[in-house]
Chains A and B, each alone.
Chain A
Amino acid sequence: MTAADYVTACLFILGGIFFFAGTAGLLRFPDVYTRLHALTKADNVGLGLIVAGLALQAESWLAAGKLLLIWLLVLFAGACVAHLVARRALRKGTRIWTE
């Protein structure tokens, strides 16, 4: 294994932790707003780390660029969808969780 492979492995594991935390939050958090908050961690940071790890293994700069583009598109769509879901929940009168 080269140095790049080690870095990729580390990035994958780190990304996996974010995905795991995001999924646990989605399942365990009390209301839709906190669940969205947990989900965006997996979508944004988790996927970003996975993409960074994959980009290190990419054969060309073009392939790395395509991976980066995928991440940017998911960031953009994820942020907008999270906003729309939260807005709809707020309009419908879903109570915000307070302990």
Chain B
Amino acid sequence: MLQWAFDTMLGFGLLWLAWRALNSSDLFKAIVLFIAFGLLMALAWVRLNAPDVALAEAAIGAGLTGALLLAALARLGAMTDQNVSGASAYPVPSAQPPAGSHFSRGLLILLLSASVAGMAYAIWSLPSYATGLSMDVAAHLDDSGVGNPVTAVLLNFRGYDTMLEMMVLLLAVLGVWSLGGLQQQPEKPVAAVLETLSRFLTPVFILAAAYLLWVGADAPGGAFQAGSVLGAAGVLLLLSGWRPRVRLMQWPLRLALTAGAGAFILLGLLTLLLEKQFLTYPVAQAGRMILLLESLATVSIAVTLAILFLSVSSGHKEKSGKGEKK
């Protein structure tokens, strides 16, 4: 009864936060609501017995996405400050739809109704009880080289899914770089407290990431959780004014960004030669191969997330510098 009440509150709280975040005219408020939504969402995943997803949601969905959104908002504010002098820091989406949009609005409603009807049909036609593939996964868990079924699926049975996810992350960096690029600028001096905080916490972050990576073989954890924790350490360091050396920003950075996807492709080709199938590991070596892939993926994910933050937040410094000259 008590759990039922808690779950109901959690469900309605999520819906309410989502609506408030979408409906808020204040973008800063919307981002804060989005972060709160991510934290509650992590709690919902815990209630659904999916601690792996909960960890990833809390670290990436709430933490790093929140930081990226806030950095983008700060940049947006600096950009609009130049154009509209004295106006509010960022544009407020107008409540009025543009003129002559009746047709497109009707079309939108039609499309939305069709997709809702499709989803309702899909949910309706689900069998009332389904085990899915969990039985098959459990049956072959011994051959996967790890003890955690989630890691077994992500890195072994459906390893190409994770490979494609690594490429998506790479594409995200390429997209951000092609829009703004990466500028190397000395940060303005930051609070001493922030510097101390990052100095004390960075070793803890690294330890926690290594623990998550290692424990992922047998318990909730893994490359994405470890990578996002490590990425958060990077964001904290960047916020407190730390910048990697210019020499490190050349090919070492590119190597770190592509290490995860590259390792997947190389290992895939190797297994194609040896086992005649893409990303099918020999049973005896599976555990080691997964650990190698996950370690490289962790580095790539961490560097990708930190670099995304640096790219999104560094642009406006240069822009506001130009503004001052005018």
Contact = CB atoms under 8 A, between A and B. Distances in A.
Interface string B182-203: 0000000001011011001100
A84 B200 contact: no
A76 B193 contact: no
A9 interface: no
A87 B191 CA distance: 9
B193 A83 contact: yes
A77 B200 CA distance: 10
Most chain A Cβ neighbours within 10 Å, of B196, B197, B201: B197
B172 interface: no
Interface residues of B, number: 8
A80 interface: yes
Interface residues of A, number: 7
A7 B196 CA distance: 37
B204 interface: yes
Given A84-B191, A87-B191, A77 B204 contact: no
Interface of B: 191, 193-194, 196-197, 200-201, 204
18 contacts: A73-B201, A73-B204, A76-B197, A76-B200, A76-B201, A77-B197, A77-B201, A80-B193, A80-B194, A80-B196, A80-B197, A83-B191, A83-B193, A84-B191, A84-B193, A84-B194, A87-B191, A87-B193
Given A80-B194, A80-B196, A84-B194, 9 more contacts: A73-B201, A73-B204, A76-B200, A77-B197, A77-B201, A80-B197, A83-B193, A84-B193, A87-B193
